[in-house]
Amino acid sequence: MATMKDVAKLAGVSVATVSSTLSGRSFVSDELKQRVEAAIRELGYAPNAMASGLKRGTSSLIGLIVPDITNPFFTELVHCIQRRAAEAGFVVLLGVSDDQVAREVELIALMRSHQVAGTIVIPCGGEQDCMNLSRLAAGMPLVAADNAPPGMAVDTVVLDNRMAATLATSHLLSLGHRIIATIAGPPHRFVSHERFVGFTTVLEGKGLSVGADHVKRGDFHVASAREAGLALLQSAPRPTAIFVANNQMLIGTMQAVAEMRLSVPRDVSIIAIDDFPWAAAFTPTLTTVRQPIDALAEAAIERLKLRVGGLQEDPCRVVLAPELVIRQSCRAPLEDA
């Protein structure tokens, strides 16, 4: 691997001239700059961003910790954060916690050991786990996104999850559904709690309640939702509509419907939080509540950039609005349902 010394030797200049050419902080004549750039191309030299950052007392490297890279929501979020980070002059070091708090703690320590300028984390734990994150970061600028409860000692960027559930539930009610079930997420997570509260609040406002048989919990993954969906579809009375708390569990719910040889939306209407590319490829196409993923990425990068730049004000909370995307998976219940 070529070094800065190799570039300097081939270009016939000093190492300081190569460094000045790369950083742009000192004047280098056009002739010398062209020689350095030609040597860089010939040798395929790539600067060590971490080492350069340490010399300057700064780093262009930032951390990003997500719970599940297989979930289309997080896949798209990683893509958007990487793009926004590049626009801000950052390079992203990605870590995946696999929904394990212990792994998340290890990754935060790893980011610190790599001297990153700051880290964006999508927490996977409960409220107390989230509250501990600022202590674990120990001075490293940190922004928490998505599953981030109020009161954290760091900047947070979240969806208005109660509003997302409100949009979904209100849509079902507007179609005439009154026997509505839910496949909710893990109760200890902030996003799950907020979505469930939004769901029940809307129903209670209409004088409706949800029986225990019509509330099932999943773990935000496909398999758990399939089991929950099968249980709901065999309950009595069978719900005419199901509100699902995320996209992966939406897939599991659709699997359960297929196994029961039922039809969406004729036998049961389905709606979920999180839009994703496959939602428009299913038959029928799926009604969802879309999260503004790029806006979330932009806000997270902006807050981290400000903190890396030395901003010392109190933690800021950015709350983003959801959007209802109406497709084909919801309709009015049959008269004899």
**Rounded to 5°, angle at Cα 121 from 48 and 185:** 150
Mean pLDDT of 21-43: 82
Q: In what order do the strands lie in the sheet with 155-159?
A: 91-96, 61-66, 118-121, 142-145, 155-159, 317-320
Q: Which range is least confidently modeled, 33-42, 116-125, 181-190?
A: 33-42
Q: Which pLDDT does position 54 carry in this prediction?
A: 45
Mean pLDDT of 9-20: 88
pLDDT tens per residue across span 64-100: 999 999 999 999 999 999 999 999 999 999 999 999 9
Which residues, 6+ apart, have CB-to-CB distance to 258 below 8 Å?
A: none
Among residues 273, 213, 216, which one has the least CA distance to residue 248? 273
Which residues are bridge partners to 94 per DSSP? 64
275 φ, ψ (degrees, to nearest 5)? -90, 155
How many whole angstroms from its chain centre is CA 185? Answer: 15
Length of the chain: 337
Q: Which range is least confidently modeled, 25-39, 150-164, 233-247?
A: 25-39
Q: Which pLDDT does position 64 carry in this prediction?
A: 98
Mean pLDDT of 228-243: 97
Distances (CA, A) of 200 to 38, 166, 181, 189, 288: 65, 9, 10, 17, 18
Domain boundaries, the chain: 4-47, 57-159+292-323, 161-291
> Six-digit token pair at 21?
């050419």
Q: Which CATH class is domain 161-291?
A: alpha beta
- Asked if 17 contacts 32 with a C-beta cutoff of 8 angstroms, the reply is yes
- Asked if 289 contacts 322 with a C-beta cutoff of 8 angstroms, the reply is yes
How many whole angstroms from its chain centre is CA 68? Answer: 9
CATH 3.40.50.2300 fits 57-159+292-323, yes or no: yes
Q: Of all helices (H) and strands (E), which one includes residue 153? A: none
pLDDT at 337 > cutoff 70: no
Task: Name the band, by pLDDT with cuts 50, 70 and 90, for residue 164.
Answer: very high
**Rounded to 5°, angle at Cα 144 from 142 and 147:** 160
pLDDT at 272 > cutoff 80: yes
Write down the mean pLDDT value for the chain.
Answer: 92
CA atoms within 13 A on the CB side of 11: 28
Q: Do domains 57-159+292-323 and 161-291 have the same CATH topology?
A: yes
